Amino acid sequence: EIVLTQSPATLSLSPGERATLSCRASQSVSSSLAWYQQKPGQPPRLLIFEASRRATGIPARFSGSGSGTDFTLTISSLEPEDFAVYYCQQRNWPPTFGGGTKVEIK
């Protein structure tokens, strides 16, 4: 099973700032990685798949990069609605999720 480690656990930023979230895989997953956003009381929402492709309806301020074992989700300028928990997920069998990064208001 591939283990995904996300860092930092918590990111304290102000609206308008740039957020950089990291996800590291215990072995190569090629580009088979997705990012999700989850707000309290809501299910997760797919943001990015195949490491860098935005899902339908996702704003351009969200971008993904990386391949192999190291991946990054960047939010170019934080909007108030972006404060949430973000999870990475790899799709090799069995699919696994990272532990999450909470982006909170500073």
- List interacting residues with another protein (CB under 8 A): 34, 36, 42-46, 49-50, 55, 87, 89, 91, 93-100
CB 1 within 8 A of CB 96: yes
- With 0-12 CB in 10 A as exposed, 13-18 as middle and 19+ as buried, what is 13? middle
Say how many residues make up the chain.
106
Residue 88 Cβ, how far from another protein at the closest point, in Å? 10
Least Å distance, CB 15 to another protein, is 26
Nearer to another protein, 24 or 91 (CB): 91
Cβ-based nearer residue to another protein, 13 or 55: 55
Decide whether 69 or 97 has the Cβ nearer to another protein.
97
- Cα 16 to Cα 13: distance, rounded to the nearest angstrom: 9
